[in-house]
Amino acid sequence: MLSFSLDARRGAFHLQVECTLTTEWTVVFGPSGAGKSTLLRLLAGLDNPIHARITLDDRVLTDTASKLRISFGHRQTSLVSQQPTLFPHLNAAANVAYGLYKLDRPARERRVSEMLDLVGAAGLAARRPADLSGGQAERIALARALAPAPSLLLLDEPFSALDGVASDELLARLQNWLRENHVQAVMATHDVSDALATGAEVLFLREGRLVALGPAREILAAERTRLLGRLEPPTS
Amino acid sequence: MDWQAFALSLRLAAVTTAILLAIAVPLAASIVLGRARWTAAIEALATLPMVLPPTVLGFFLLVLLGPRTAFGRGIAALFGHPLAFSFDGLVVGSVIYSLPFAVQPLVAGFSAVDRDLVDAARLLGAGPVRLVSSILVPLARRSILAAIVLSFLHTIGEFGVVLMLGGDIPGATRTLSIVLYDQVESFDYAAADHTALLLLGLSVLALALIYSKAQKRGAPGDA
């Protein structure tokens, strides 16, 4: 269970959100500029808020009131950002292994191979990021984020470079893996079909404020109707 | 040609460059990654030797490292001899004098590394040392090369600090720049010509060697 109360400013933008996410998979939905990425960065502990209290399964990760902030190495939080930020001087396998420095070499190699298999990138281990397509880089970035076995996975529109079929297939595999490993995930998207496809709980964000929280089909009913309307052929 | 001075200059530049790298990498990283209120002060201090006249810096160091101050006496006790007018003293002076020439390119190189990569490494548990050694240093290779070249050549060519702090002791503190000064002062322009050409050639050779090596390696540009 992820609970947070956040109050942060980024220039003129002000984000103020307070809620508790009880399901294992939550989609943060909202138009561009709603504050989705800011929310994820705050949850990851990357940005400084005015006020924040974040707890994951009763473990306090951040509490500005008591000046508590668990360091990155101990937060057990992974973030896959919009642009896959792979280390350009390391090959795909070394990128995935980066967060596994506490494991010995055989265990590390096993884990890397397992993660590359999971994201369908087993043949890309020796490739440098410059030699990967956008979709391949997104798969490697996901494998790297999953490798250290986080308790909380934050995904910021992570499959924007993958086509619909590949994205759905990877999303299904990922959800299974997260369920098996009891990892809570929060994925930001502005794509209605992505939000509906996962059948998740939806946190609807607009202009830095929480508009609604609940099942995707309820919260996004109007968006769904609009989407279906666009798919129907025009009547003459 | 004063080959003894030539060898001393090379030794001084090599030792100074090695020490500077060890100091400048963490210093530049702390400027780039540190809290804003501290970084301005650190950067100002690290840049100060660049704007200070070398003779002023040399004079301050001469007084500081001499027997008149407690610090100078402490250092003398530690090294077994006063640092003023010694090779060790020249190294201390050179390190301080050339510090901005090592720190500035590194600050520029580290600052150019994509902040998202730094965030990604931090999220994956990298502490400051690992962040610097596995992300900043490999991605700022050209800046490190620039820092090495600038520190080395700047030390080879320094004059004011060397003269103030080291004097002109053959085999101990007489560098090529001092030799050149002595030759001009004694109107030996033919010898001065050779010394000046050697200094010029050394600079060109060092730059050419290091940059051609970087090209052969196909080093990627700074991120």
pLDDT at A125 over 80: yes
Banded model confidence at residue A6, pLDDT cuts 50, 70, 90? very high
**Other beta carbons less than 10 A from residue A109's beta carbon:** 15
- CB-nearest to B114 from A44, A73, A85 is A85
| Separation between Cα atoms, residue B56 and residue B62, nearest integer Å | 10
pLDDT, position B220 = 44
Residue A44 contacts B, CB cutoff 8 Å: yes
pLDDT at A131 over 70: yes
**Portion of chain A with pLDDT greater than 90, in percent:** 63
pLDDT, position B213 = 66
| Separation between Cα atoms, residue B38 and residue B40, nearest integer Å | 6
Q: Which chain A residue is nearest to residue B138, measuring alpha carbons?
A: A89
Q: Which chain A residue is nearest to residue B140, measuring alpha carbons?
A: A89
| Separation between Cα atoms, residue B35 and residue A232, nearest integer Å | 55
Residue A85 contacts B, CB cutoff 8 Å: yes
pLDDT at A218 over 90: no
Banded model confidence at residue A14, pLDDT cuts 50, 70, 90? very high
The whole-number mean pLDDT for each consecutive block of 10 residues of chain B, a chain of 223 residues, reads 87 94 94 79 84 86 85 85 85 91 94 94 94 95 89 89 83 88 92 91 80 60 39
| Separation between Cα atoms, residue A215 and residue A11, nearest integer Å | 32
pLDDT, position A35 = 92
Interface confidence, given as ipTM, is 0.88
pLDDT, position A225 = 75
> ∠ CA B32-B29-A90 to the nearest 5 degrees?
105
Mean model confidence pLDDT for chain A: 89
Q: Give the least confident one: A178-192, A202-216, B54-68, B130-144.
A: B54-68
pLDDT, position B223 = 36
- Alpha carbon B179 to chain centroid, angstroms: 21
Residue A91 contacts B, CB cutoff 8 Å: no
pLDDT, position B217 = 58
pLDDT at A215 over 90: no
| Separation between Cα atoms, residue A147 and residue A96, nearest integer Å | 7
Q: Which residues pair with A69 in a beta bridge?
A: A62
- DSSP, collapsed to helix, strand or coil, labels residue B33 as helix
Average pLDDT rounded to a whole number, residues A128-136: 94
- CB-nearest to A78 from B123, B138, B223 is B123
Q: Give the least confident one: A15-19, A227-231, B127-131.
A: A227-231
Q: Considering only CA atoms, which of B25, B216, B39, B217 is closest in space to residue B137?
A: B25
pLDDT, position B222 = 42
pLDDT, position B128 = 92
- DSSP, collapsed to helix, strand or coil, labels residue B186 as coil
Residue B125 contacts A, CB cutoff 8 Å: yes
| Pair B33, B118: CB distance under 8 Å | yes
pLDDT at A233 over 70: no
- DSSP, collapsed to helix, strand or coil, labels residue B143 as helix
- CB-nearest to A98 from B124, B138, B223 is B124
- Alpha carbon A7 to chain centroid, angstroms: 20
**What pTM was estimated for this model as a whole?**
0.84
pLDDT, position A96 = 97
Helix/strand/coil (H, E, C) string of chain A?
A: CEEEEEEEEECCEEEEEEEEECCCEEEEECCCCCCHHHHHHHHHCCCCCCEEEEEECCEEEEEHHHCEECCHHHHCEEEECCCCCCCCCCCHHHHHHHHHCCCCHHHHHHHHHHHHHHCCCHHHCCCCHHHCCHHHHHHHHHHHHHCCCCCEEEEECCCCCCCHHHHHHHHHHHHHHHHHCCCEEEEEECCHHHHHHCCCEEEEEECCEEEEEEEHHHHCHHHHHHHHHHHCCCCC
pLDDT, position B54 = 85
Banded model confidence at residue A235, pLDDT cuts 50, 70, 90? low
Q: Which residues pair with A29 in a beta bridge?
A: A189, A204
pLDDT at A162 over 90: no
Q: 183-212 in B: which are within 8 Å (CB) of A?
A: none
Q: Do B120 and A78 touch (CB under 8 A)?
A: no
Residue B133 contacts A, CB cutoff 8 Å: no
**Other beta carbons less than 10 A from residue B62's beta carbon:** 21
| Farthest CA pair distance, chain A | 67
